[in-house]
Structure formats: C-alpha cells, structure tokens
Structure 1
Amino acid sequence: MDNNLSGAIPPFTKFPSKLTYLDLTANSLTGPMPRSVGNLSSLTTLYLGQNQLQGFIPDLGKLSGLQYLELSYNSLSGTVPPSIYNLSSLEFLGLANNNLRGALPSDMGNTLPNIQILMMPNNRFDGVIPTSLQNASRMTFIHLSNNSLTGVIPSFSSMPNLVYIMLYSNHLEAGDWTFFSSLANCTQLLKLNVGTNNLRGHLPANSIANLPKSLTTLALRSNNISGTIPLEIGNLSNLSMLYLDTNLFMGPIPPTLGQLHNLHVLSLSQNIFSGEIPPSIGSLDQLEELYLQDNQLSGSIPESLGSCHSLWALNLSCNTLGGSISGHVLGGLNQLSWLLDLSHNQLSGSVAPEVGSLLNLGSLNISHNNLTGRIPSTLGACVRLEALRVEGNLLQGSIPQSLANLKGIQVLDFSHNNLSGAIPQFLETFTSLQYLNMSFNNLEGPVPTGGVFGNTSGIFVQGNPHLCASVASEELPRCFASGSTKKHKFIIPLLIALSAIVALALILGVLNVWFKRRHKSSESIGHSYMELKRITYRDVNKATNSFSLANIIGSGQFGTVYKGWFDSDDGTVAVKVFKLNQHGALHSFIAECKALQHIRHRNLVKVITACSTYDQVGNEFRALVFEYMAKGSLENRLHNQCGDLSLGAILCISVDIATALEYLHNQCIPPVVHCDLKPSNILFDDDDTARVCDFGLARIIHGCSSGGQSGTTSIVGPRGSIGYIPPEYGMGSEISTEGDVYSYGIILLEMLTGKRPTHEEFSDGFTLHKYVDAALSRPRDILPPSPTSGTRDHHVNHIPNLQENKTYTLNDICVLQLLKLGLLCSAESPKDRPAMHDVCSEVFQVKEAFFSVDK
C-alpha cells in the first residue's frame, strides 16, 4: 500500500493461486478492476481503496473465504454484483465514495450474517434499508449516508454491538420512531447521525430517556421534527455534540441542557424556539461552539454565558434579544477565535470596551441592533479580525485610529450609522481589505484614493452628504481646491440646508397624499429612494397620450408599461401602470417600492418617482416611472432579432446581470431577492449596458443567511416565470438568493444555446440543464455559430472533457467555462449552487481572459 504505484492493474493470472492477502491501497492506480481478481479463490483480504479505478466491479463470487473487501474512494460505477452480497464470510464491506447505484438486496442481512462494518456512503444507492439487516447481529458500524435511500429507518434492537450509525443525507423517514426506541439495546453506541432526511413528528420523550448513556454524538439536523425538546435530553451525560438545527422545534430551550457537562458543540439554530436563553447553558464549561441563531428567542443575553470559557464560536443572531452587550460576558469569552455574531437583534446601549479582550477573534458581527455611543477604541486590540460588521445601528463619533492595527481585515461595514469625521487614511494600507461599506453616515472630507479605494467595486460611500472625491462622480461631488475652501465655507452648508428643507417639504407632501388616500390597508411605502417629483394621475395620463395603445412597450400580469414624456428634463421615460383590478397587483406595487427603496446601481433600471393617487372617477391608481431603456430587452435580442449573440456580447451581459444580483444579495441592507429574473426583465440602455428591471415579485430577506425566511408581504401567484423558477419553489420552499442564482444559470445557458427553457423539446423531465449537461463533452453540437466564432482564435492543444484530436480556440475555452457555470448555477439542489459573489468573480475572470487578447 501507499507505494506511489500508477497505471492499470495487470491481470492477476501470474499471482500465486494461494494468495490470501492483497493490499494496493492509496496509490494512483487507474483503469478497471481486472476480472481475473475473481479467480484468486484463496483471498481473505482485498484492499484496493484510495485509487482512481473506474468501471464496474467484477464478479467476486469465487472468493468464498473473503472477509475484508475495501474498494472505497475510487470512481467505480454501475451496480454491485449480487455475488458480493452472498459472500457469507464477509466481515468488512467498504464501497464508500464511488458512483455505485442500485438498491440494497432485501435479504442482505441473511446473506451477510458475519458483517460487522458496512461502509457504503457517498454513492447513488436507492430503495429502502433492508429490514433483514436486523439479523446481522455482529454489526458495529453502519455508514450509508449521502445516498438516495427512502422508506422508514428499521429497528436496531438486535444489534447490541453497534457503535456508529451514519444515515444522514438521504430521504429516510422516522415512521412511528420505533428505530429511536430500539437504540436502547445498543449499549455501546457512540454516534447517531440521521440528519438531512425526512424525519417528522415529535421526539418521543421515553425514547430520549432510554438512549444509551454511551452516546457522544446525536445529529438530527435538517429534518422536519416538531414539538418541544424533551427535558430528558439532559440524561445523555456523555454527549459531546448535539445537532438539532434546521427543524421545527418550538417552545423554550430545555434548561436540562445545562446538565450535559461534556458538550463541545450545541446547535439549535433555525428552529422556532422562544423564551429566554436558559442561564444553565453557562455551566457548560467545555462548550466550544454554540449556535442559537434564527429563532424567536427574547430577553437579554444571560450573564452566565461569560462562564463558557472554552467557547470559540457563538452565534445568537436573528432573534429578538434585548438589553446590552455585557462587559462581563465579553470578558469571559476571551477564547473566542472564530465567530461572535449578535446581529439582527434588539440590543441597545454602548458596546462595552471589554470587546477588546477578544484578541483572537476572526469575525465580529453586531450589526442591525440599536447600539449607541462610539465604536470602542479597544477593538484595535483584536488584531486577528478578518470581518467587522457594525452596520445598521446608532453609533456615532469618528472611526477610532486604533483600528489601524487590524491589518488582516477583509470585510468592514460601518454603514447606516451616525458616524462622523473623516475616512481614516490608514484604510489605504489594508492590503487584505476586499469589502468596505461606509455608506449612509455623516462622514466628511475627501475620500482617500490609495490602496483599496482604487477598486471602486468593493467600496461604498454613498449617503454621506459631506464627502467629496478628487474626481466628481454620480455619488460624490468633486473636492474643492484648498485655495477655494474659504469661498465655499458658508455656501456648502447653506445649499445643504436648503436642499434638506426642499426634500422635507416634498416628503411631507407625498406622505400627506399617501395617508389621506390610502384605504384601510396599514401598509406604507417609503419614498426616500425616489427623487420625489410629485406627479398626478393627470400628469401620467398626459405623458402617455391618454394611455395610448401605440405607447405600450410591454405588459405583464400586474402592469402595463408605456413610453411617455413629462414636461421636465426627464426626456423619454417608461411608465408602469399597475392593473389594480388584477388580484395581487397592489401587493406587487408595494413589493416593488419596498425593494427599490434604497437601491442604486448601474445595472438596475433607475426609478424616477412613484404615483399613488386616484383617477378621474375615483378609482385607486398606482404607477412607477423609470428611465427609458431605448435598446430593448434580452428576450428580443435572443429570439426576435436576426442572428445570435456574439460571445463577447454574452460575456458583457453575463457580467452586468451577475453584478446586479451580487449587489442585491450582498450589498443591499437587508438583501433583496429578485424572484423573477428572465430575459424580458433584462433591458439595455443607450450604452448597451444590461440592466435588471421589474421588482414586482421581489422579496426582502430579513434573516441572516441567504436562505433565510422572507419578511415581506406574500404575493399572489407564482414566484417567478415558468422555466426560470427554481424547482424548490414549486415544493413550497422559502424564497432565497439561491433561487436567483438558478434563474441566472438558466439565462446563461439560454444565451449560449439560443434555446428557451420552455422549448417544446424540453418535456417529461428533460430540461435545458440536462440538454447541456449531456452534450458538455461536445459543446459545439449544441451552440449556434456566434458563440464559437470570432477573433479569439488562439489555439490550445488540449482541453479536458472536450472531443479528442481537435484544436480548440480561446472561444471554446470561454464557452466551456460559461456552460459549466450555467450548469452549476442551475443545479437542482440549492445547496449545490454557488453564491452570487463567487458567480460574479468567475464570470469576470472569463470576460477578462476573453478580452485580454486585444491588449
């Protein structure tokens, strides 16, 4: 074993016929398993794991004395030969991490009576776990995780020697929880992991009480288990890891958890727990990780948590915790080295200076609370910080100079506070800094130009009226030269004051109309994002020539879009008039207004103003006025114009869309999910820049993760358009940023292939994704001429996964990368899709490589 052997395994014909032991583990052997291995009838041990073997497993039926068979960590495929399940002397069967498929034989436990270790995870096995396995009474280790097994988990009562049960990441059910009760007989059991399955119902208290005291790991995460956690959980005195997160548990967290003095990891996040955090958790002096985020916990952070001196990760975010961040708690948690997340709560008061005792902390997030006072200068002592997020509070004063010590910081977010003073010059020296958000504060003076400030894509400073830049931009005015500073000393404050008065008057006027004319609905819309040009129904009627059919440029379920002209400097505009007689249209208007409230981006269609009033006969009237996009939609370019998009155009459009989504998902506070991304909602401005529009189905995510629950009003009808809706939405899953990633992937594949996802050939389970995936080794067969033609004809000798004996150009490489990215984004499972930040980075790199030929 481990001899750096490579190449194919030679036939076993020259091996001694009496060979009993063969170990070729951990080499680089390739090709298939020789069939002749089945003739070594004296073998008792065959180890071929951790190689690169491919193809089918040969018939091993003649190896009647085989006791140990290890084929794990290869690329073997097909079904397991039935003869292997009939090797009655087999004690160890290792088939993990291959591409094997098929069902487990129903009599498996009878034909393998001596089996002790069954290792078959990370394959594609389906069907049920055979109940006959109960007859394998010598079993100590069952590992069938990450397959596609279904049905009810069988009883384990006749397996008293069981030590490990690993069944996670399947589609298994609990039934009446008999399997749980049967574990009382498994007195040596150490680890039970049945997470990420379809377990439902309540945890039976008696079964919890009777679980073997030997148990050290209990993982039930990512199921649909409901009800309360039985108090008897405190009897499992040897537990070191308890994972109950991502279920439907409710009620209070049981105080008996404080009896688990050997606990190292406690994860109860993403449930519906309510009430206060039990102070008894503070007695868990060996606890290293505590996750309680995304629940409905209230009250204050218990002082006793400061006694958990071993904690290195603590996440209490996305609850309704109040009170202050206690200095006593912070002082006791000085071993925190990974994470402290208290964000999205109702914490108040100032940040205690004891935060500086967290010398080894990697990430601190106290954003979206009601914290006041100054940013503690003691934070400068936390020299290992990589992420610091304090946005969405009421912090004031200047940014402390002591933060200059945070040389390794990668993410800094000070946005949406009341911070003042200048942007510190030391930020220019932070070479690791990738994201800096200082927007919506009262910062003043010039924006630095060196270091990270040279990369405008990662810097956000909007919403600071007293900031200026060396070069004027849409967000910032140009700084005055030093000689003219005095001249403008009084003019600037005067202009700001006048602007504020005018803006306030307009806001009050709009709000007056809004509140007077709203019906009993209590929903309101903030207009701070608009330019607040007051327009009436009469203005809209005139601008659209009495809503002339000739002016219609688009129509959807909830609104009609008209081309229009106002008597102002706006020029041509697009006016979206909502069909309020259509059920759900008013919700769509409100959703679009909420989504557009604070967003501004070059790849989003800019909203000019809104109109919320009544028409001439007293009916409610709602309209939004947008910039007019003169060059049509992506839908039109793909399917209604002659000729396919060039690869260069596809790359530019892909980058524009990805940039817009990355902004919505990661830079908006709170994040925004578009929910209806499709080619007809991607428009082009005069410069041919792609812009995303139509936020009528958008959702604002108030949770902490991209997959968190939406906090917006429910919208009637489908959450997207057929062909672009992610499959999980059809099964009732919550809105998430992963849904937008799916839609982006489909659009990318559509641009490359020229085929709509709703094309008639895509039916009966055959999709655009599967169409591309099946042809990935011969992409030229599925692409229209344009994406593989052009001037980027630098040849490359070999490209993996493409047809052999052909020469490939830079175009081919870029197309292949985009196809793979589109497939990855449109993966069926949300957890398999990349985050938009990574998608954006990938498509930027492809574009850069493509256009670098011209440089």
Structure 2
Amino acid sequence: MNSRSVLLFSSIVIFLITATISATDDGNETDYQALMQFKSMITNEALRSWNSSFHHCDWSGVSCEKPHIRVTYLVLESHGLEGSLSPHVGNLSFLRYFSLGDNNFQGSIPQELGRLSRLRLLSLAFNNFTGVIPSNLSGCSNLEELHLGLNKLVGSIPKEISFLSKLGFFYLRTNKLTGGIPLVLGNITSLKVFSATENPLGGSIPDTLGNWKSLTNLYLGACNLSGTIPHSIFNLSLLTELSLGENQLTGSLPSALGTTLPHIEFLQLRMNQMTGPLPPSLSNCSKLRFIEVNYNNFRGKLTIDFSKLKDIDYLSLGNNNYGFGESDDMKFIDTLKNCSKLKVLLLSDCKFQGMLPTSIGNLSDQLTILTFNKNHLYGNLPSSIGNLVGLIGLSLVNNRFTGKIPSTIGKLKSLQEAYLYGNHFSGIPDSIGNLSMLTTLWLSSNRLEGQIPLSIGNCHNLLELHLDDNKLSGKVPAQLLQLSSLTIVLNLSQNDLSGSLPTEFGDLKMLTSLDLSDNKLSGHIPSSIGGCTSLLFLSLKGNLFHGTIPSSLSSMRGVSTLDLSHNNLSGQIPRFLEKLTLLEYVNLSFNDFEGDVPTVGVFTNTSAFSLLGNNRLCGGLVELRLPKCKEKDNHKTRFLLIVIAILIASTLFFILCIVYACCKKRRGQSSQSLRDERFLKVSYNQLLKATNGFCESNLIGEGGFSSVYKGILDHDDEFVAVKVVHLQNRGANKSFIAECETWRNIRHRNLLKIITSCSSVDFQGKDFKALIYEFMPNGSLHDWLHSSSSKSKPNILQRLNILIDVASALDYLHNHCLPTIVHCDLKPSNILLDDDLVAHVGDFGLSRFLGTFSNQNSTTGIKGTIGYAPPEYGVGSQMTTSGDVYSFGILLLEVMTGKMPTHKIFHDGLNLHKFAYMALPDHVTDVIDDDLLSFLQEDATANQCKLENAKTVEECLALVFKIGVSCSVDSPPQRMNIKNVVHELQHILDTLQNI
C-alpha cells in the first residue's frame, strides 16, 4: 500500500471514529437533557442526588448499556417522587425498562411515551395519574409488560393497544375506566396476564378474549360486567387463575369445565347471579386449590368428587341453593376426607337439610375455619367434631341442633372463635374449660339449662362471652369474673340467674360491655362494680336489685349507656351522673327514686334518659311535667346560707387573685392540657395559626390523601400533629370518614392518640377537614430505618420492642375490638415513635370494620401499599386480618434486613419473603441489616460474649426471621396468628435480655 492509500485509509478511520464519538456525545446529551427535564417536574427533593457530581448513567435508578452509553433503564419505584411526568422522557429513545410504580405522580400520562419503540416494560402503577390512557402507546411496539393499575385513569381502554403484538402482561386494576372491554383486545394473542379488577367498565365479556391462547391469569372482578361468561373463556386450556367475582354475570357453568380447564388453580366467581349446578367435572381439576363461588344462585346437589382435589385449601360454596332435604344432600362431605390440605370450608346458607354426617370428623386436621351458618341442620352435633384439632373458627349459627354440645369439643385446643348461637342446644360440657385459646364464645338464643360451668374460668384468653337468651340458672360463678382477659363483652342477659352479684365483678377492669339484664339477681349493686372502669355499656335492668346506686359508678367515666330500669332501687338520683360527659343514654325507669331530677349533662335532653314509673320524683325539665320540688321556708337557715355563701365567695375571690398573680407568666393554665381535653374544639383559624399558616417548614409528612404539619395550639406548650386532608383527591373524604370512625372505636397504648378533629371551611369558603394527633418526636419507623440523617439506628432490643408494640396493636384491633378492625395499610411510615421509642400505629384512612365471618362476602377496594399489601388483594380478594399479618411479616423482615420490599435487588421472582426464607436457619447473619450486625458485633466485643451466648443470639435472630417468613406466606390460612406473634417475640426478647 502506497503512502497516499495509507493516508486516505487513516483519514477515513479518523472520520468514522469522530462521527461515532460525535453521535454518542449527541445521544448522551439528549439523554442527559431528558433526565434533567424529568427531574425539573419533580416537586420534592427526592432526586437531589441527580447532579453534575456524577455521570447521569450513575444516577440513582438510571442504567446505561454499551456500546452507545445510552439510558436503557429508568427504574424509580417507591422513591417518594411527587409531581408530573415530563413529556421529554419520550426522548430516551433507547429506553427498555421504565418503572415509576408506587410514587405520587399526578397529571396525565404524556403522549410522547409512544415514541419509545424499544420499551419492553412500562410501569406507572400506584400513582395518581389522571386523564385517559394515551392511544399512541401502541407505538411502543416491543412492549411486553404494561402496568397502569391503582391510578385515577378515566375513559376507555384504547383499541390501539391491540397493536402491541408482544404484550404479555397488562394490568389496569383500580382505576375509573369505562366503555367495556374492547373486542379487538382479543388480537393480542401473546397475552398471559390481564387484570382490570375494580374498574366500572360495564358491558359484557367479549367472546374474542378466547383468542388469548397463552393466557394464564384473568382478573375481572368488580368491573360491573353483565351477561354470560363466553364459552371461549373456558377453552383457554393454560388458564390457572380466573377471577370474575362481584359482577352481575348470569348463566351457568359448562358441564365440561373440568376438562377444558385442566390447569385451573384459582376459581373466583363470588357475588354474581349465576345459576345451574356446579359441574361434577370440577373433580377433574386436580390442581384446584381455591374455589370461591358464594353469593350466587347455584342449585342442585353437590355431586363433585372432592377426593380428587388433593391440593384444595380454600372452599367457599355458601349462599347458594344446594339442599333438597334428601338423605344424600351432604354426601359430598364424605369425599372431602382425602383433601389433606383443606384449611377453609365455608358452607353457610346453602339450604342444606338433615343431620350433619359423622364423616365431618374425617376432614383434614389442617382445617382452620368451618362454617355451616343458616342451613336447616338438626339433631345432635356429631362427637366426631372433636377430630378437627386444627380448627380456629367454628360457626354453626341459626340451625336447629339439639342436645348437649358434645364433650369432645374440648379436644379442639386451637379453637379461638366458636359461634353456635340460634340453635336448640341444651347444655354446655365441662370440657369447654379445655379450650385455653378460646377468645370468642357465642351461645346466645339456645335452650341451655343448668349452671354456667365453673371450668369456663380456665379459658384464660376469652375476650367475649355471649350466653344470653337461654335458661341458665344458679349464681354467676366467681371463676368467670376472674378472667382478666374479658375485655369486649360479657352478656348473661335473659336467663334465670339468681343471687347477689359477686364482688369479683370489679376485677373486670378492661371490660367494655356488661349485660346482666332480665334475670333474677338480687341484693345491692356491689360498690366493687365501679372497678369496671372501661365499661361503655352497662345494663342491670329487669332484676331484683334494691338500695341506692353506689357512688363507685362515678369511676366509669367512659360509659355511654346505663340501664338500671325495672328494679327496686331507691334514694335520690346521684349527681355524679350529670358529670359523666360520655353518657349518651340512661334508663332509671320503674324503680323507687325520689327527690329532684338533675338538669345538667345527659338530663338536658329528654330523649337521652327515661324516668318512667318513679312516682316520687320532682323538678327536672319542664317537658317531664313533674311536680315542683318543695322548698324549705326557713328564713334563718336561708339567711345563714347567704352569709356563708358571701364569705366563701369573698375567700375564693381573694385566693383566685393570688393564683392569677402567681400564674400570670404561665401559658395555658386557664384550660386543660390537650391530653386531658377529650372534646377540644378547634377552628380552621386556630390550626392556621398553630402551623404558622401551614408553612412548609412545619410540614413533617405528606401522602396521597393528606399533609401533616407540626404545630402548637393556643394556650398549650406541647406540639401536636395536624393532618390536613386533601379533599380534592379522590377517596380523601372517604378516608377521613373511615379514620374518624375507627378512632371512635379504639383505644390502646400502641395506637396513635387522636386529640380532636376539625370539619370546617377555610377563608375561601372551601371545605376543610383535619385530624389532630399527639405529636411523635421521634418520627416514623421508616425514618429510623432508612433516613440518612445523623439519627442513630435502633439496636436489636429496640427493634424487638417496636415489633412487639406493633403486633400488640394489631392483636388489639383484630381480637379485642368489636367489630374487628383491619388496618389495611401497615408499613413503617405509619409506625410512629415517641420519646421512649414506644411504637404507635397510625393512619387508619384505609381501615375497615369486619363483622363476624362477614369478611367472606366483603367487597373489594383495599389497595394497601405495593410490597406490603398481601398478594390476595391483588386479585380482588376481601380484606382480612390475615392481610394485616402479611403486612406485619414484611415490616418485620424490613426491620431486620434494612431492605424495603421494593429494593432494587428484588426482581425476577425474588422478593423480601424469599430473601429471608433462603437464609433460614443458618445464614441469617448474611442478610441482616448491616447497622444491626455492627451493633451485635460491638456488643459481643464489649461483653467478651461467650461462644454459647453468640450462638443463642443467632438462634434468636433466626426465630425472629422465621416469624416474619411465617407471617408473609402467600396462603392466608397458613399465616401466624397475631396473638402468637406477640407471645413468640416477647419470649425472644426475654431470652436476649437475659444473655
């Protein structure tokens, strides 16, 4: 090659290199500018680390790939981002994975995203995006996953989405989408998962969805769908999960369903209008583990051979019409004996008739919940029921069972809730005392005779006992009253109990409702009953009590209903009744009270009290039309009283002057502390001043529904937390109402204390709502675990104490409240810490009340938070206490590992639960939080920890991890009971403290 050729070749090479570098630089600059534009529309400081100190490919959440050094990954899930999404993101032309899930983005989804032709995953789920889904997302021709769920999107599903020929996963749940399901979506033959649960879509299910031959999961619950289910759906042979609950679907199931859906594992059709029989061919679906078809119009005998469904663990068939009153109505029970994994069997309101077969005792010893409510079952309850040793909940309400409750029930050592009311049972066995785990026993409206068994005093976990409307006789046993666990209800009304009340009643210090009405109890009301200081409801009506009302009742400061009517009580109406500020109704009718009627407190409203049948009363409100009370006409006495009054008034005035002079420099002495003022009234103006005009420097937290400010109210030196509700956001007002309703019903040391609420208008005339809480100086558990501030991280003992506090709060909400309360959004940011690092659970904006077994027909609607919400909520299942337990398990693992469930290492099937599970039992120290590990190493060095002590510490840590893993398993029935969690964690803490 001559010199000219060499020179020419070199020039070409240099030109190409320069061109490549120039192109790369231009591409880099385009990406950099797009990212800066993205950051510019984030309204908080969540992306402050995005600065010129690092190349943009090294910024948090950003990844680039060679050779072009172009941005291919932008993943910022759960980063607390707020603001709107910049359309300049459409300039990241090499972007393949784009995820902004679980943030607080608002505004519309930019049309420019349709330019990202290389994009494979787009996740904008769990934000506050509004507007419509851009139709030109069809330009993302390589898109495989599209996550738009849990937003506020409106309009219809764009038909252009059907052009995404590679789309495999399409999530739209919990938006406001209407317009039905487009027929053309059936063209996306690559689709594997489609979820549109909780959208008011309307219309019917298109037959074209039968083209989704690769589909494995279809979720269309609560979509306002009508019509029949197309037969083409039942031909999707790869389908494993089908959820169509809470619609208005009609028609019947195809008889060959068990043949056409051989891989089906999850079948949810609850709360529709479906008819016809349940196909016997379901017996062929050998992989079925979950069947929920309750609340339909299915009829005909159950002829399914369940013995072939060996993986079934949840079977809910209730509220249908299967019974014909024939001898073989319940033969299907015999076929369930081989279902060794069965944990939940719900057969309420199925119109079953006849006797419960003894084969009921052949069911799995793993069975935890069994219900036969509202059928037509009669005869004795089979003694074989005692074989179901795994039972936690048993409900046989409103049948016609007769005879004694079998003594074998005492074998059910795990039983926690027993609902047997509305039957004809005649006796309670002594073996009832063997049920040491029992928390609820409901035997109302039976024909129980004889005395209350003394052995019931052995049920040391009993929270509520209902024995009303029976024929029980004898005295109230003192053993029953020594159950300090009784905190919810003791109802012995409408029986034939006699004798005087034992003084042990005063031991029930935490009891909230006591009903002894309509018995034959006599004697004086013992003064010891005043020890029941937590009572909200007390009824002694319809007995033979005499004497006066004991003054000790004045200690029941929280009582709202007091009924002492239809007795032989006498004396004057006690003045302390006027001072019970929470008393809403008092009934003193048909006794022998005398003297003047009070006109203060509850006695200011005639609808709030009743005094009928007391013929010696006088005075009171004019509406009572009672005679005036006689006045003593003794002038000397009157003169003396006037003189004494003047002297007392003069003395008091002198003392007040001195007190005023001494206290002039103090603030707030003229009013009670906020901590003692239960009904403090505050205005919008007061809150405006308290928070310095809701200024940003006072802002301590912000969420989708509210902003929280620190402030000081007038005349008080203590900080409060003011939670201002964003009423313009969808669901905010509902959240406010839910939180108010919850706080009305709860009180516990580990729950955030509410001071008052404000429902008013601001200075522009707009609605204003706020909640005022006790201020927690140590912030949230999330801050302590993840904040980069100088705040020291909690050590192992502090973390265990915090976890015990949270578990104790859940135990109270789940097991000590009536009705049961489910928090629904448990996570570290909702756990607040006081000066002593005592944990307080707050934010009940998503909480729900659950009735007894009513959660089986609850509607969907709980979102929770991604990472903490249990997997069953994602497919439209009802909220349950086990959902809270799942959230607690994830929270525990986060506390111990220091990793949020949305940490970047969790992908491709790995999550926090599996991360912890794989470390058990010998590698816990490999996954424990680095800060916690350093604490343990420092402690070991400082104390010259012995080898056996170090081993004990590791064993304890493994036990803690095991609890978190057990709480966060996918299957709700397999999760730990929260009461056991409290016990186990306390035992671990005690062990560590003794090392």
**Distance change in 2, residues 1:329/1:279 (3 Å):** farther
Choose the corresponding residue for 1:361, options 370, 391, 401: 391
Alignment check: 8 A CA contact 2:441 2:464 kept: yes
Aligned mates of 2:734, 2:270 — CA distance in 1: 19
Aligned mates of 2:410, 2:211 — CA distance in 1: 55
**Distance change in 2, residues 1:24/1:269 (3 Å):** farther
Alignment check: 8 A CA contact 1:684 1:690 kept: no
Please name the residue that 1:112 is paired with.
Answer: 140
Alignment check: 8 A CA contact 2:170 2:193 kept: yes
Please name the residue that 2:241 is paired with.
Answer: 217
Q: Write the letter of the residue equivalent to 1:184.
A: G
Please name the residue that 2:931 is paired with.
Answer: none
Aligned mates of 2:740, 2:462 — CA distance in 1: 20
1:464 is displaced (CA, Å) by 1.2
Choose the corresponding residue for 1:309, options 318, 324, 340: 340
1:357 is displaced (CA, Å) by 1.3
Choose the corresponding residue for 2:120, options 67, 91, 94: 91
Aligned mates of 1:74, 1:815 — CA distance in 2: 23
1:89 is displaced (CA, Å) by 1.5
Please name the residue that 2:61 is paired with.
Answer: 23
**Distance change in 2, residues 1:127/1:847 (3 Å):** closer
Please show how residues 47-66 of structure 1 align to structure 2 within 5 Å: 47-58=75-86, 59-66=88-95
Q: Write the letter of the residue equivalent to 1:127.
A: G
Tell whether 2:161 aligns with 1:133. yes
Tell whether 2:171 aligns with 1:143. yes
1:834 is displaced (CA, Å) by 7.7
1:797 is displaced (CA, Å) by 12
Choose the corresponding residue for 2:292, options 251, 255, 267: 267
**Distance change in 2, residues 1:816/1:329 (3 Å):** same
Aligned mates of 1:259, 1:607 — CA distance in 2: 63
Choose the corresponding residue for 2:219, options 184, 193, 198: 193
Deviations 1:809-844 (A, max 9, x none): 889999969x989999x9887999589787522599
TM, length-normalised to structure 2: 0.49
**Distance change in 2, residues 1:412/1:809 (3 Å):** farther
Choose the corresponding residue for 1:207, options 229, 232, 244: 232
Please name the residue that 1:470 is paired with.
Answer: 502
Please show how residues 304-453 of structure 1 align to structure 2 within 5 Å: 304-337=335-368, 339-401=369-431, 403-443=432-472, 444-448=474-478, 450-452=481-483
Alignment check: 8 A CA contact 1:20 1:45 kept: no
Q: Write the letter of the residue equivalent to 2:352.
A: L
**Distance change in 2, residues 1:374/1:831 (3 Å):** farther
Aligned mates of 1:377, 1:397 — CA distance in 2: 10
1:358 is displaced (CA, Å) by 1.2
1:692 is displaced (CA, Å) by 11
Please name the residue that 2:619 is paired with.
Answer: none
Tell whether 2:245 aligns with 1:229. no
Deviations 1:580-613 (A, max 9, x none): xxxxxxxxxxxxxxxxxxxxx97499999xxxxx
Aligned mates of 1:823, 1:142 — CA distance in 2: 29
Greater Cα shift, 441-450 or 327-336: 441-450
Aligned mates of 1:76, 1:317 — CA distance in 2: 44
**Distance change in 2, residues 1:275/1:837 (3 Å):** farther
**Distance change in 2, residues 1:808/1:153 (3 Å):** farther
Q: Write the letter of the residue equivalent to 2:196.
A: L
Please name the residue that 1:45 is paired with.
Answer: 73
Aligned mates of 1:847, 1:92 — CA distance in 2: 40
**Distance change in 2, residues 1:287/1:782 (3 Å):** farther
Please name the residue that 1:763 is paired with.
Answer: none
**Distance change in 2, residues 1:692/1:259 (3 Å):** farther
Alignment check: 8 A CA contact 1:396 1:419 kept: yes
1:189 is displaced (CA, Å) by 1.2
SS in 1 for 2:185: coil
Tell whether 2:181 aligns with 1:153. yes
SS in 1 for 2:433: helix
Please name the residue that 1:68 is paired with.
Answer: 97
Aligned mates of 1:436, 1:275 — CA distance in 2: 38
1:332 is displaced (CA, Å) by 2.6
**Distance change in 2, residues 1:812/1:126 (3 Å):** farther
1:461 is displaced (CA, Å) by 0.4
1:691 is displaced (CA, Å) by 4.9
Q: Write the letter of the residue equivalent to 2:236.
A: P
Tell whether 2:270 aligns with 1:238. no
Aligned mates of 2:157, 2:224 — CA distance in 1: 15
Choose the corresponding residue for 2:313, options 275, 288, 292: 288
1:69 is displaced (CA, Å) by 0.7
- Aligned residues: CA RMSD: 4.8
Aligned mates of 1:602, 1:122 — CA distance in 2: 41
1:753 is displaced (CA, Å) by 8.7
Deviations 1:645-699 (A, max 9, x none): x9x96xx37xx59x99xxxxxxxxxxxxxxxxxxxxxx98538798599xxxxxx
Please name the residue that 1:459 is paired with.
Answer: 490
SS in 1 for 2:603: coil
1:807 is displaced (CA, Å) by 4.5
Alignment check: 8 A CA contact 2:399 2:423 kept: yes
Q: Write the letter of the residue equivalent to 1:390.
A: L
**Distance change in 2, residues 1:310/1:779 (3 Å):** farther
SS in 2 for 1:258: helix
Aligned mates of 1:219, 1:112 — CA distance in 2: 29
Alignment check: 8 A CA contact 2:497 2:520 kept: no
Greater Cα shift, 242-251 or 323-332: 323-332
**Distance change in 2, residues 1:467/1:264 (3 Å):** farther
Q: Write the letter of the residue equivalent to 1:187.
A: K
Aligned mates of 2:737, 2:314 — CA distance in 1: 25
Alignment check: 8 A CA contact 2:271 2:296 kept: yes
Alignment check: 8 A CA contact 2:102 2:126 kept: yes
Aligned mates of 1:24, 1:42 — CA distance in 2: 10
Alignment check: 8 A CA contact 1:87 1:112 kept: yes
Alignment check: 8 A CA contact 2:726 2:732 kept: no
Please name the residue that 1:686 is paired with.
Answer: 603
1:150 is displaced (CA, Å) by 1.1
Alignment check: 8 A CA contact 2:124 2:148 kept: yes
Instruction: Note the residue ranges of structure 2 that are not aligned, 5 or more in a row.
Output: 1-44, 506-514, 525-540, 543-558, 567-578, 588-599, 611-678, 691-697, 757-773, 775-995
1:294 is displaced (CA, Å) by 2.0
**Distance change in 2, residues 1:463/1:207 (3 Å):** same
Aligned mates of 1:131, 1:821 — CA distance in 2: 34
Aligned mates of 1:14, 1:820 — CA distance in 2: 38
Aligned mates of 1:692, 1:191 — CA distance in 2: 59
1:287 is displaced (CA, Å) by 1.3
Tell whether 2:49 aligns with 1:10. yes
Aligned mates of 2:347, 2:428 — CA distance in 1: 28
Aligned mates of 1:381, 1:372 — CA distance in 2: 20
SS in 1 for 2:441: strand
Instruction: Note the residue ranges of structure 1 that are not aligned, 5 or more in a row.
Output: 1-5, 26-39, 482-529, 532-600, 609-645, 661-682, 694-750, 755-771, 784-795
Q: Write the letter of the residue equivalent to 2:113.
A: I
Aligned mates of 1:261, 1:831 — CA distance in 2: 46
Deviations 1:123-168 (A, max 9, x none): 1111111100110000010011111111121233322221111111
Please show how residues 656-805 of structure 1 align to structure 2 within 5 Å: 656=584, 685-686=602-603, 691=608, 780=687, 801-804=707-710
How many residues are aligned here?
Answer: 557
Q: Write the letter of the residue equivalent to 1:466.
A: L
Greater Cα shift, 142-151 or 305-314: 305-314
